[in-house]
Chain A
Amino acid sequence: MKVQRWIQAHTTPITWVVAVLIAGGYLSKWLQAPRLYAGLLALASVLAVVPIAMHAWQALRVRVVSIELLVTIAVIGAFVIGEYNESAIVTFLFLFGNLLEQKTLAKTRSSIRSLTEMAPTTADRLRADGTTETIDVDDLVTGDVVVVRPGAALPVDGTVADGDGYVDEAAITGESRPVHKTVGASVYAGAMLSNGFLHVQATKVGDDTTFAKIVELVEEAQDTKSHAEKFIDRFAQYYTPAVLVIALLVGLVTRDLRLAITVLVLGCPGALVIGAPVSNVAGIGNGAKHGILVKGGAVMDDFAKIDTFVFDKTGTLTQGRPAVTALTTFSGDEDEVLAQVAKLESLSDHPLGQAIIQAAEQRGLQYAALPLAASEVIKGEGVTGTIAGHRICAGNAKLLARHGVALTAAQQTALTTLQQRGASSVLVAIDGALVQLIGIADQLRPEVPAALVALKKAGALHLVMLTGDNRATATTVANQLGIDEVHAELLPADKVAYVKKMQAAGRHVAFVGDGINDSPSLATADIGIAMGSGTDVAIETSDVVLVQANFQALVHAYQLAKKTVRNTRENVVIAIAVVVFLLIGLIAGFIYMASGMFVHEASILVVIFNAMRLIDFGGRQKNQKLDASA
């Protein structure tokens, strides 16, 4: 066992020694020393076949006929008939090919590796006396406070307990842009503190952090096989022993040992076995770098086939929180009135009121100090009060009617237009006359229209919106976006029914939702895409997780899936073409063992290089989106 481990660890130097021996052999041939030539090459063969034979034996013990076994038998055969040069070169090419394969494979896996390396292994824990101690991250428990210094990665998920700083959350969201974090803000493990100083109280540690979950998900995904991979695996399971049998038959029939061992070498299914998985690994790795978690090769396959995208409206196409979108002032100063309304609304916790307060704050209005008296919140109607001697009411038409406020024809028209656009309205009256009309709506994400056009260009045929919202609002949103089909006023169960109906009509449906209240639809669709949340539920029920709520990521994911599947196909075609070429070469007599092995190893590198093109697909993401944590 010791010897085995030593050989495994020293395969690289062994390969180089073999190379030197072969070079020495050919040098002595050139120097007219045939004995030395044969001796050196025989030595090279023996040395090189040891690690290969070892692998072959280990695999055989678990009943796997491996490529190594084919090569080992071929080399022994070549040795027997005295073809030392062939055996030496074949084994060297095989070892050297493996070496290159290892290096290039490492490249295709680099995305996920660079991700895991972002997580720190130690943390500075704050002790009760204010000093810090450096401990292993595995020893941290929730509630611990850790000190994070600039340039360091956060070791835990938690909330900022003290200090402030700019945090780059690229590892979690794929978006490289520093976000300002102050006391009370949530921060995630794996994020980088670019400047500032933070004390973070841990809420999740170790394997429970969002970052650890993402890493685990991606690792598992890279090993979840696509349909093509599963097929090839099954194929290889029978193919390799079949080659052994065929070679044996060829040997028995033709009595030509040389031909038989050539068949063994040519039959190695190298590029075929590596081609499909390597594309998926690179594709999934690319996704992870862009904040897109694709759960495996099979998901890639299905995603690439999607022709219908079904969107949930609230929180997906829109930002999911109401905001002031229209402000019409009939008399008085706009900001002055808005400030008074904000003061009034600070009494209620109604979402519309919150939107107004937010708007006032965004305009920098000082409303908090306004003297409010005789205020009253009337449920289902609005708020009333007296500010600086003036009676002010803010609410719906019912409230104003009760206070005897009448709307002029122009005001009525303005209100109707607002409602037709799908916005909710707050009417403001001062001393019995309407002074302001505030329109509040859930705003579209700014990048959505362009992203939907890009989706169509990438191959999506139908864009559908399903929503629980009222028809007027839904239609307005759909018209703004160029959505093909809208269904409004739906319950979660209705959404599932629509998804099923589309599937029954032969469409391949992806459902895009926020992952919180639409899990049934996410699970029913061919591909469930959860957007903007790294929550456990979203990760569990969906096939693709977009860590940040951003439609550009959705477009990238869709293009990436198509690209990955095409790359897999290219690789399979390359692999099959190589085998066909070798067969023709064998029959035509221009391919022998060594040249066959060379073509094999070269084709393996070709498929790996082809897959590597996926790693940089799409480049770095542009930083023009919304802050996911906002």
Chain B
Amino acid sequence: MTKKLTLQLDELTCPSCLTKIETAVKNQPGVETVKVLFNAGKVKAQFDDSQIAADQLTRVVSDLGYEVKSSKVTEA
């Protein structure tokens, strides 16, 4: 099943953070689309939950050094 994950991060300031997060999340198995909203500080990703769990994706982002303030999974 395709799910949609929305992460709310802290303020993002460097434009290169965007590429960083986007690439890192995209490289995970089962991730279909990733969009980082620079100004809103949000990461939106569509993923196949049979291949990867939402928690794993959240960890990918927090391991890059960005605090994940809240996360939400909805049906795509």
- Identify the A interface with B (CB < 8 A): 1, 4-5, 7-9, 54-55, 58-59, 61-62, 64, 66-68, 98, 101-102, 105-106, 109, 112, 138, 207, 219-220, 222-223, 233, 273-274, 277, 281
Interface residues on B, range: 20 to 34
Once the chains are docked, how many angstroms separate the CA of A39 from the CA of B74?
A: 55
Q: Kindly list chain B residues whose C-beta atoms are within 8 Å of the C-beta of A62.
A: 19-20, 23-24
Which residues of chain B have C-beta atoms less than 8 A from A61's C-beta? 20
| CB-based contact A106/B20 at 8 Å | no
Residue B42 contacts which of A4, A7, A54, A219 (CB distance < 8 angstroms)? A219
The interface bits of chain B over 42-76 (1 if a CB of A lies within 8 angstroms of the residue's CB, else 0) are 10000000000000000000111111000010100
Indicate if the CB atoms of B74 and A273 lie closer than 8 Å. Answer: no
| Contact of B20 with A58 in the complex, beta carbons under 8 Å | yes
Contact check, A207 vs B14: say whether CB atoms are below 8 A apart: no
Contact of A222 among B39, B64, B72, B74 (CB under 8 A): B39
Interface residues of B (CB under 8 A from A): 11, 13-17, 19-20, 23-24, 37-40, 42, 62-67, 72, 74
Given contacts A64-B19, A219-B37, A274-B15, 9 further A-B contacts (CB under 8 A): A54-B65, A55-B14, A64-B20, A207-B74, A222-B38, A222-B39, A223-B39, A223-B40, A273-B15
Query: B residues within 8 A CB of A277?
Result: 15, 38-39
Q: Are A98 and B13 in contact (CB under 8 A)?
A: yes
- Chain A residue numbers with a CB within 8 Å of B20 are 58-59, 61-62, 64
Instruction: Tell me whether A66 and B16 are in contact (CB under 8 A).
Output: yes
Contact (Cβ within 8 A) A8 B65: yes
With A219-B42, A223-B38, A281-B39 already in contact, the answer to whether A9 and B67 are too (CB < 8 A) is: yes
Cβ B38 vs Cβ A5 within 8 A: no
Residues on the A chain within 8 Å of B74, using CB: 207
| A54, B63: Cα distance in complex, Å | 13
Chain B residues near A101 (CB-CB < 8 A): 13
Contacts of A66 in B (CB 8 A): 14, 16
* Identity of the chain A residue whose Cβ is nearest the Cβ of B37 in the assembled complex: A223
Interface contact A58-B64, CB-CB below 8 Å: yes
**A106 and B16 form a contact (CB under 8 A):** no
Instruction: Give complex CA distance A55, B42 in Å.
Output: 19
Q: Using Cβ atoms and an 8 Å threshold, which residues of chain A touch B38?
A: 222-223, 277
Closest Cβ of chain A to B9, distance in Å, is 11
Residues of A within 8 A of B14 (CB): 55, 66-68, 98
In the complex where A59-B19, A105-B11, A207-B74 touch, is A5 in contact with B40 (Cβ < 8 A)?
no
The 4 A-B pairs of least Cβ separation, nearest first, read A8-B65, A62-B23, A219-B40, A222-B39
Q: Would B13 and A105 count as touching, CB distance under 8 A?
A: yes
Can you show 30 pairs from A to B with CB atoms below 8 A apart? Answer: A1-B63, A5-B62, A5-B65, A55-B16, A55-B17, A59-B20, A62-B19, A62-B20, A64-B16, A66-B16, A101-B13, A105-B11, A106-B11, A109-B11, A109-B39, A109-B40, A112-B40, A219-B39, A219-B40, A219-B42, A220-B37, A222-B38, A222-B40, A223-B37, A223-B38, A274-B15, A277-B15, A277-B38, A277-B39, A281-B39
